[in-house]
Structure 1
Amino acid sequence: MERRDVTGTVVAAPTDRRTTPSDAGSGAEFTAIDGRPSILERYADRVTEPERFPAVARPIPPRRRRDRRGRGIRGTLLPPDVPAYATRGDRFDDLVLDAVEHLDHRWSTELADVEFAVEDVPPVAVTDDEIPLAHYQPAGGKGRSGTPRRIVVYRRPIEARAVDSEDLAELVLDAIIHEMAEMMGVDPAVIDPEGHGWGDEE
């Protein structure tokens, strides 16, 4: 259907075509409708050509890793630095450090050059239930090639004797006191007057 203005002149019908964002990137513009300015004309002073239709990136969430049989997420449930991840050996090492710290308050000078270590079991076979809980090794050699005095605590024999965690801590302390007494040539009661160190440790 033709459209005429007030003077009777035929005018073109307004188009309703709009360009898409992809068209705009190629130089096309929105066409005016019914004499109204296009969107680009209205906002030309606010938007530069490259910014007319910026690309919007929608991040895709990564897929949760599952094992091949669909039994759940693969990987550790707890990071290594949390307490629940500590191994039995780690906890035992902490008990040894606690015992040394307790004794160092009284014997810091005597323990200044003593090295403490933890091993799972004694290095040599023993018989008749004479399994040591710890062992004192005197210093060996001189100079840089020498070895310092050393007290080695054996984890598994102590754990085998302990009835609970509190008893385990007491046994660790007693074993170290016993070896310190041997190192210093004194009675265990001298090392720890609080009452530790003179049990039935072999």
Structure 2
Amino acid sequence: MAGVRRRDRHGRGLRGPLTPPQVPMSRSRAERFDDLVGDEVRRIGQRWERELAGVEFAVEDVPDLDPLFDGPIPLGRTRPGTDGTPVRIVVFRRPIEARATGERETGRLVRDLLVEEIADLLGLSPESVDPSYDTPED
């Protein structure tokens, strides 16, 4: 009769999570990045709520590029809306994380990218969308 193993081969019990799920440390890097983008969208959206009402924001790991693509990997992209689908601003997580040297710079890159995409969409300068654009301080 095969029994259920209660201990691993070193005599220790079953391992579980080191931190409870509600603790920020237990969130994955991708989840923390999603939170960062969501926070920035909410911050910018407070000022531009009406103009961004029909815009969808998304995070994808990497851009879908043609195999013959030759150029810098984009950090984000605005996909135009078509019949029945809204305009969509997409932030690419992996290229941003690869370019940033830490969490603070990741936040700055996300902020600047979203401001640039929104400014382009609205036909405004990035500085008019967000006065903190392109400043090293957060």
Same topology, TM > 0.5: yes
Query: Which of 160, 163, 166 is the matching residue for 2:98?
Result: 160
3-state DSSP of counterpart to 1:122: coil
**Residue aligning to 1:116:** 57
Query: Which of 114, 131, 135 is the matching residue for 1:176?
Result: 114
**CA shift for structure 1 position 189:** 1.6
**What is the RMSD of the two structures over their aligned residues, measured on CA atoms?**
1.8
Structure 1 unmatched ranges of 5 or more: 1-64
**What are the Cα deviations for residues 40-91 of structure 1, in whole angstroms up to 9, with x where unaligned?**
xxxxxxxxxxxxxxxxxxxxxxxxx422431343332333232111000011
Contact 1:136 1:182 in 2 (8 A): no
**Residue aligning to 2:20:** 79
Structure 2 unmatched ranges of 5 or more: 1-5
* Higher helix residue share: 2
Provide the rounded CA distance (Å) in 2 between the counterparts of 1:88 and 1:182.
Answer: 29
**CA shift for structure 1 position 178:** 1.0
3-state DSSP of counterpart to 1:118: strand
Runs of 4+ with deviation above 6 angstroms: none
Provide the rounded CA distance (Å) in 1 between the counterparts of 2:52 and 2:134.
Answer: 17
Tell me: higher relative CO, structure 1 or 2? Use CA pairs within 8 A at least 6 residues apart: 2
Amino acid at match of 2:7: R
Provide the rounded CA distance (Å) in 2 between the counterparts of 1:74 and 1:169.
Answer: 34
Contact 1:136 1:150 in 2 (8 A): yes
Provide the rounded CA distance (Å) in 1 between the counterparts of 2:59 and 2:119.
Answer: 18
**CA shift for structure 1 position 197:** 5.0
Question: Which structure's CA Rg is the greater one?
Answer: 1
Aligned-pair identity (%)? 51
Number of equivalent positions: 128
Contact 1:115 1:151 in 2 (8 A): yes
**CA shift for structure 1 position 123:** 0.9
Provide the rounded CA distance (Å) in 2 between the counterparts of 1:76 and 1:94.
Answer: 21
3-state DSSP of counterpart to 1:160: helix
Provide the rounded CA distance (Å) in 2 between the counterparts of 1:197 and 1:181.
Answer: 13
Contact 1:178 1:197 in 2 (8 A): no
Residue 133, structure 1, aligned to residue 65, structure 2: no
Provide the TM-score with structure 2 as the length reference: 0.84
Provide the rounded CA distance (Å) in 2 between the counterparts of 1:115 and 1:69.
Answer: 50
